[in-house]
Amino acid sequence: MKIKTMGDLDKLREAGLKSLAPKQLKISISMSTCGHALGADILYHELVKQKGKQGLKISIGQTGCSGFCDLEPMALLRLHGRPPLLYTQMTVKKIKRIIEDFEEKRISKEGLLCTIEDPFLSAEPGPEFNEIPSYKEVSPFKDQHRRLLENCGIINPLSVSEYVAMGGYTALYKALYQMDPEVVVDEVIQSGLRGRGGAWFPTGIKWDMARKTHHKEKFVICNADEGDPGAYKDRTIMEGNPFKLFEGIVLAGYAIGSHQGLIYLREEYPHTYEFLNDAVYTAKRYGFLGKNILGSNFNFTLKIIRGGGSYVCGEETALMDSLEGEVGDPRLRPPFPIEKGLWERPTIVNNVETLANIPHIIEHGGESYAGIGTEKAKGTKILSVIGKVKQPGLYEVPLGTNLEHVIFNMAGGPLNGSQIKAVQVGSPFGNFLPGEKLDISLDPETLKTMGSMIGSGVIVVLNQDTCLVDILLHTLSFFVEESCGKCVPCREGVFQMKKIMTAIYEGRSTMEDLTSLHDIGGMIKDFALCALGGGAPSLILNGIRDFKKDFEAHITTGKCPWTS
């Protein structure tokens, strides 16, 4: 059925509410890429089998990735009149016990993490629920401000009715019927939202310029070429709540006067590709994409395009080359995509996380959105905290949150009581911050003064057991492999740096090699064509400056002291 009026939307919301508060027990298994990797499909099929065999009075559903993949497979238990229960690291045995306990009116405690806040719960749940911690009190969710990830792991990502029940598509309806495109752009400008892909350019300004260009054909490109090693926030949004992203993309199209959107998805996410295509199909069926969206005069189509496995295609001009069927070659700017983008048409390129912010801004207003964050960086940021920490995962926090707080209080601190040696914020370009300099505000400006960057929000935690030379060599290998080869400084320079770094790592070098690294690095920084080449040497040069001991240890002992 196509949603054409507010009444239709209300009906869909009703259906979603029923699905979120079912009359009989509903067990939903988290079925994203990470869930699959840890056995969710086995669990799901076993559950279906058991249901048939024993005639269990349950329904079986699915949820998406919540950002804490190591707690997968997760199971969410829903029943009308009581708060949903979230279980982690489920096995067939554990699930069976949960069902048995349920039949005997007990709450199974094994693997139980918390209750999920249920905004629609009318009656007070029984006292047995009081002892279970809530979502907001328990690690890893406590202290988070989940604006973008609010539904991830909680709703069925492919159920548009559940998304609508959680407030989805209210913003699009409001924009199409009550706001002119320039008002939409104004709200985004007021929100202070800046591009989350790493460049942090003001989104509203970009949209305003694109809106003012006069061309019949314009494009909205969603950059889902999430290539920074360590980042998986875009995958989580796409697999956990794809309609939120679609709503943001359609709003962008409406704001700038475009009727065509493309999601450029990285090749390494094959599950996400299938998943997004399913979601596009559903969105079309309900009239959230296609002709006369929500009964208005606005038309918008959305296509998912798969990349070919090239990091440089995450750079917006190379990305457009790739969409045109070319090799991804970064172009010199200007002209900027807003003037001459895809097929020389005005184009905006925005990251997944950026676009996922839009529904909130339109629904609640730019001013309200800007209520959290720092003076120059508003809203929340999803951080991907990985490496040697107790609880790795995605933490969505207001910009300006203290880094030490995130690592120690939210992510549980370093593994096994070890000491933090260094933290890399903004992998692979961000510099390493020494373990004793973590008491800082997480925002682009502060990190810039530290000689680092927030980038796409990857935070790699390294402890005393890690060798910095090894990590730097690994990162350098990444740059060598991903160099597109167009300019000599990057293609040859980074290659030479890797050769020298390998010699250092293997203990076949002298102190003079450090000088060579300096010279080559300086040359690359000055002459590389794009940020990919320019970013590679600064990491090494800062590594030598801040962690010289690690380099010296290799050079003087003739081996890697950490591995031998």
Partner 1 sequence: MEREKIKRIVSKHRHEKAAILAILHEIQAEDKQLETESLNYIAQLLKVPVANVYGLATFYSAFSLGRKGDTKIRVCSGISCHINGADEVVEVLKSKFNLEMGETTWDKKFSLEKVQCLGLCSIGPNVAFNMDTYSKLNKEKIEMIIEILHKKTGDSK
* Contact by Cβ (8 Å): 379, 372: yes
> Phi then psi for 452, rounded to 5 degrees?
-120, -165
CA nearest to 149, candidates 264, 274, 64, 275: 64
The answer to whether residue 493 forms part of the interface with partner 1 (CB under 8 A) is: no
Please state the closest distance from residue 375 (CB atom) to partner 1, in A. Answer: 31
Strand partners, 393: 385
Please state the closest distance from residue 235 (CB atom) to partner 1, in A. Answer: 5
Pick one of 42, 205, 327, 440: the residue that binds partner 1 (CB under 8 A): 327
Angle at 168 between CA 167 and CA 172, to 5 degrees: 120
Pick one of 70, 103, 278, 526: the residue that binds partner 1 (CB under 8 A): 70
> Phi then psi for 17, rounded to 5 degrees?
-65, -40
User: Which residues between 376 and 395 bind partner 1 (CB under 8 A)?
Assistant: 384, 386-388, 392-393
The answer to whether residue 406 forms part of the interface with partner 1 (CB under 8 A) is: no
Pick one of 69, 189, 245, 468: the residue that binds partner 1 (CB under 8 A): 69
Selected range binding partner 1 among 300-308, 350-358, 512-520, 532-540, rule: CB under 8 A: 300-308
Instruction: Name the CA dihedral angle for 154, 156, 160, 164, rounded to a multiple of 10 degrees.
Output: -20
In this structure, what token pair is assigned to residue 214?
A: 């006069």
CA nearest to 441, candidates 490, 374, 383, 388: 374
Strand partners, 303: 262
The answer to whether residue 462 forms part of the interface with partner 1 (CB under 8 A) is: yes
Collapsing DSSP to helix, strand or coil, 313 comes out as helix
Pick one of 474, 508, 545, 548: the residue that binds partner 1 (CB under 8 A): 474
Please say which residue, 239 or 363, places its beta carbon nearer to partner 1. 239
Q: DSSP letter at 483?
A: -
The answer to whether residue 317 forms part of the interface with partner 1 (CB under 8 A) is: no
Q: What length is written for the chain?
A: 564
CA nearest to 94, candidates 83, 106, 108, 84: 108
* Contact by Cβ (8 Å): 209, 218: no
The answer to whether residue 330 forms part of the interface with partner 1 (CB under 8 A) is: no
The answer to whether residue 325 forms part of the interface with partner 1 (CB under 8 A) is: yes
Pick one of 305, 450, 503, 531: the residue that binds partner 1 (CB under 8 A): 305
The answer to whether residue 471 forms part of the interface with partner 1 (CB under 8 A) is: yes
The answer to whether residue 481 forms part of the interface with partner 1 (CB under 8 A) is: yes
Please say which residue, 135 or 478, places its beta carbon nearer to partner 1. 478
The answer to whether residue 499 forms part of the interface with partner 1 (CB under 8 A) is: no
The answer to whether residue 225 forms part of the interface with partner 1 (CB under 8 A) is: no
Helix, strand, coil percentages, rounded to 5, for the chain: 45, 15, 40
Selected range binding partner 1 among 17-25, 110-118, 267-275, 448-456, rule: CB under 8 A: 267-275
- Residues 112 and 115: their CA atoms lie apart, in Å, by 9
The answer to whether residue 36 forms part of the interface with partner 1 (CB under 8 A) is: yes
Please say which residue, 326 or 519, places its beta carbon nearer to partner 1. 326
The answer to whether residue 269 forms part of the interface with partner 1 (CB under 8 A) is: yes
Sign, CA dihedral 29-34-39-45, equals positive
Please say which residue, 78 or 388, places its beta carbon nearer to partner 1. 388
In this structure, what token pair is assigned to residue 382?
A: 């999803």
Please say which residue, 254 or 269, places its beta carbon nearer to partner 1. 269
Which chain residues interact with partner 1 by CB under 8 A? 33-34, 36-38, 68-70, 72, 226-232, 235, 267-271, 305-311, 322-328, 384, 386-388, 392-393, 424, 427-428, 460, 462, 466, 471, 474-475, 477-478, 481-482, 484
